């Protein structure tokens, strides 16, 4: 577990206390106890961080791809060596099970770093031959100083997903992790300089979204903003970036449907839906929080699912048998419980869960909510439409494929969908009709880092992953050479 301490910003390779001397509290979700104090940074701190990044840019962007890759690969090695410690830090700061932090989060941090170290080196540049009129070749140039703003649900997983391609394409970085989960970023920064990344190439500022995040977004020297978080914040970032015509990558919320057809394999579907609904306490933007099931299968699925969900073990994230840890904060716990309360008022039937939970022992004051399944809500219920981002899944039924698609596409979001059927033609047709950036057939969260990742509608703008990330962090320049030159 991480020790309680006072964090600093990382600017130009050094720990720097906040200029204003103010700090914010960081709590441990599983116990409700104070874990650390973090800088409540403002525009002066952001100014220093951006200046340090700008100073480092000529040197870092001037290094060869192979040199940059060596640093990023070394960092991946260090993450692998220290995975246990890092997972402990992440689990304490987020409330997620320790096993999950190790098997999912830290494995992915390492994979993100290794993947982009390789992908950038294998990224071809284009040439267009005009014969007698000459040759065009296309350069990919780094942007300069870029801002990375990340959320609390998968702190280091998502930060490394942005950091690795930003660095590999030669940019310098100012990152702002969520004020709710600042600790793993601090640990990564400490390792990054040891891995050979030069001081100033990566800078870290801690603080609130409204003060520190906004100052970063508004800084005139920032050339691009890569953001993962809530849709409301995403809109504010897009509005701030628009007058300066800088790039934004916005990975926002979701209200993802699972479409279960009458011929679905029930065992496979139940196992998949438990994972898709409740991994990380339902706090993953890809979680399927709406189950749409064919009316012929509804009863059988509901019964099996309620039994499986009721069997999940909720409690101390440090215990090896824990399936579900704590939610991120007391406020978020109240928000989730508020939706469950609303379900009761709207005539919903709670099939399992439905309450806050106070485990015995050290986690008595933690922010726990039982995994909850709800059916019989009206079609226009807010629970079917708004992102709850917790362990709450609703069930609706449909009579036809058309009705399933209408329900699936009836929300403002369009991030992910899962389709459960034994029929290939149904799977392909539905995948084509559903409004989502990502579709999994008979599965969930099968990730290939080369593929485009992101959503449509209110779920965001742009795609990350593979060449999409590399393109985002670069400017394209075409050069024409006359023939015979």
- The least distance separating ligand TXE from the CB of residue 232, rounded to whole angstroms, comes to 7
As a whole number of angstroms, the distance between CA 397 and CA 209 comes to 39
Window of 28-36, 116-124, 208-216, 471-479 that interacts with ligand TXE by CB under 6 A: 208-216
429: Cβ contacts below 8 Å, ≥ 6 apart: 401
Q: Choose between 158 and 273: whose C-beta lies nearer to ligand TXE.
A: 158
- The least distance separating ligand TXE from the CB of residue 336, rounded to whole angstroms, comes to 9
- The least distance separating ligand TXE from the CB of residue 24, rounded to whole angstroms, comes to 10
How many other C-beta atoms lie within 10 A of the C-beta of residue 43? 16
- The least distance separating ligand TXE from the CB of residue 158, rounded to whole angstroms, comes to 7
Residue listed under structure tokens 């320790």: 98
Q: Choose between 368 and 420: whose C-beta lies nearer to ligand TXE.
A: 368
As a whole number of angstroms, the distance between CA 179 and CA 150 comes to 10
Q: Choose between 253 and 348: whose C-beta lies nearer to ligand TXE.
A: 253
Asked if 251 touches ligand TXE (CB under 6 A), the answer is yes
SS3 227: strand
Q: Starting from the edge strand earliest in sequence, which strands make up the sheet with 135-142, in order?
A: 127-129, 135-142, 474-481
Instruction: Find the binder of ligand TXE among 41, 228, 269, 322 (CB under 6 A).
Output: 228
Instruction: Find the binder of ligand TXE among 389, 420, 453, 472 (CB under 6 A).
Output: 389
Asked if 209 touches ligand TXE (CB under 6 A), the answer is yes
Asked if 90 touches ligand TXE (CB under 6 A), the answer is no
Asked if 473 touches ligand TXE (CB under 6 A), the answer is no
As a whole number of angstroms, the distance between CA 293 and CA 302 comes to 9
On whether the CB atoms of residues 216 and 189 are closer than 8 A, the answer is: no
Instruction: Find the binder of ligand TXE among 34, 127, 133, 210 (CB under 6 A).
Output: 210
Task: State phi, psi for 57 to the nearest 5 degrees.
Answer: -60, -50
Asked if 213 touches ligand TXE (CB under 6 A), the answer is yes
Asked if 339 touches ligand TXE (CB under 6 A), the answer is no
**What does the block give as tokens for 444?**
């969930």
Q: In the complex, which residue's CB is closest to ligand TXE?
A: 209
Please choose, from the candidates 43, 69, 61, 52, the residue with its C-alpha nearest in 3D space to the C-alpha of residue 15.
52
Pick out residues in 46-75 that bind ligand TXE (CB under 6 A): none
Asked if 437 touches ligand TXE (CB under 6 A), the answer is no
Asked if 236 touches ligand TXE (CB under 6 A), the answer is yes
For residue 133, what is the DSSP state? G
Q: How many residues bind ligand TXE (CB under 6 A)?
A: 25
Q: For the stretch 366-393, what's the b/e string if a residue is b when 16 or more beta carbons lie within 10 angstroms of its beta carbon?
A: bbbbbbbbbbbbeeebebbebbbbbbbb
As a whole number of angstroms, the distance between CA 56 and CA 68 comes to 13
Pick out residues in 285-324 that bind ligand TXE (CB under 6 A): 285
**What does the block give as tokens for 169?**
């394409």
**356-357/368-369 β-pairing:** antiparallel
**What does the block give as tokens for 132?**
């007698």
Q: Choose between 170 and 229: whose C-beta lies nearer to ligand TXE.
A: 229
251 is catalytic: yes
Asked if 454 touches ligand TXE (CB under 6 A), the answer is no
Asked if 105 touches ligand TXE (CB under 6 A), the answer is no
- The least distance separating ligand TXE from the CB of residue 284, rounded to whole angstroms, comes to 7
For residue 198, what is the DSSP state? P
On whether the CB atoms of residues 39 and 205 are closer than 8 A, the answer is: yes
**Which of 71, 172, 212, 285 is labelled catalytic?**
285
Residue 20, classified by CB atoms within 10 Å of its CB into exposed (0-12), middle (13-18) or buried (19+), is: middle
Residue 431, classified by CB atoms within 10 Å of its CB into exposed (0-12), middle (13-18) or buried (19+), is: middle
Q: Choose between 170 and 391: whose C-beta lies nearer to ligand TXE.
A: 391
For residue 104, what is the DSSP state? I
Q: Choose between 127 and 239: whose C-beta lies nearer to ligand TXE.
A: 239
Instruction: Find the binder of ligand TXE among 91, 94, 214, 289 (CB under 6 A).
Output: 214
Pick out residues in 153-192 that bind ligand TXE (CB under 6 A): 153, 176, 178-179
Window of 92-100, 224-232, 347-355, 370-378 that interacts with ligand TXE by CB under 6 A: 224-232
Task: State phi, psi for 76 to the nearest 5 degrees.
Answer: -60, -40
**392-398/349-352 β-pairing:** unpaired
Q: Which residues pair with 141 in a beta bridge?
A: 475
**Which of 179, 251, 370, 387 is labelled catalytic?**
251
212 is catalytic: no
Window of 110-118, 144-152, 343-351, 395-403 that interacts with ligand TXE by CB under 6 A: 144-152
Asked if 387 touches ligand TXE (CB under 6 A), the answer is yes
Q: Which residues are catalytic?
A: 251, 285
Interface ranges with ligand TXE (CB under 6 A):
149-153, 176, 178-179, 209-210, 213-214, 217, 228-230, 233, 236-237, 251-253, 285, 387, 389
């Amino acid at each position: 577990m991480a020790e309680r301490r006072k964090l600093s910003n990382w600017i130009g390779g050094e720990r720097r206390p906040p200029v204003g001397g103010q700090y914010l509290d960081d709590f441990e979700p599983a116990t409700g106890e104070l874990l650390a104090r973090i800088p409540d940074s403002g525009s002066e701190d952001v100014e220093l961080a951006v200046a340090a990044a700008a100073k480092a840019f000529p040197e870092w962007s001037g290094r060869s791809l192979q040199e940059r890759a060596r640093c990023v690969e070394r960092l991946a090695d260090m993450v692998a060596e220290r995975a246990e410690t890092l997972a402990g830090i992440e689990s304490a700061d987020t409330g997620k099970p320790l096993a999950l932090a190790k098997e999912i989060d830290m494995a992915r941090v390492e994979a993100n770093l290794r993947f982009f170290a390789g992908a950038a080196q294998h990224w071809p540049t284009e040439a267009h031959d005009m014969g007698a009129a000459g040759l065009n070749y296309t350069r990919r140039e780094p942007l300069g100083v870029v801002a990375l703003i990340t959320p609390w649900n998968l702190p280091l997983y998502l930060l490394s997903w942005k950091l690795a391609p930003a660095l590999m394409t030669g940019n310098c970085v100012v990152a702002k992790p969520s004020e709710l989960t600042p600790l793993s970023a601090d640990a990564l920064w400490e390792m990054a300089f040891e891995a050979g990344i030069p001081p100033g190439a990566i800078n870290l500022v801690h603080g609130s979204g409204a003060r520190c995040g906004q100052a970063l977004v508004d800084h005139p020297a920032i050339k691009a903003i890569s953001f993962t978080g809530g849709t409301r914040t995403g809109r504010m970032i897009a509005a701030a970036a628009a007058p300066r015509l800088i790039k934004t990558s916005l990975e926002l919320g979701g209200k993802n449907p699972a479409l279960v057809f009458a011929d679905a394999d029930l065992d496979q579907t139940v196992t998949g839906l438990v994972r898709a609904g409740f991994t990380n306490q339902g706090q993953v933007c890809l979680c399927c929080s709406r189950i749409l099931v064919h009316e012929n299968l509804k009863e059988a699925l509901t019964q099996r699912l309620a039994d499986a969900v009721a069997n999940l073990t909720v409690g101390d994230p440090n215990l090896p048998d824990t399936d579900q840890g704590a939610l991120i904060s007391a406020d978020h716990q109240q928000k989730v419980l508020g939706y469950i309360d609303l379900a009761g008022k709207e005539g919903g039937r709670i099939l399992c869960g439905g309450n806050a939970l106070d485990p015995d022992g050290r986690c008595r004051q933690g922010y726990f909510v039982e995994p909850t399944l709800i059916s019989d809500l009206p079609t226009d219920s807010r629970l079917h439409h708004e992102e709850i981002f917790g362990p709450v899944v609703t069930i609706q039924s449909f009579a036809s494929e058309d009705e399933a698609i209408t329900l699936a596409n009836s929300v403002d979001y369009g991030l992910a969908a899962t389709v459960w059927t034994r029929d290939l033609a149904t799977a392909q047709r539905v995948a084509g009709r559903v409004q989502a950036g990502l579709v999994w057939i008979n599965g969930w969260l099968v990730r290939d880092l080369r593929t485009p990742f992101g959503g449509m509608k209110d779920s965001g703008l742009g795609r990350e992953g593979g060449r999409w990330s590399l393109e985002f962090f670069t400017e394209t320049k075409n050069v024409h050479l006359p023939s015979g030159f």
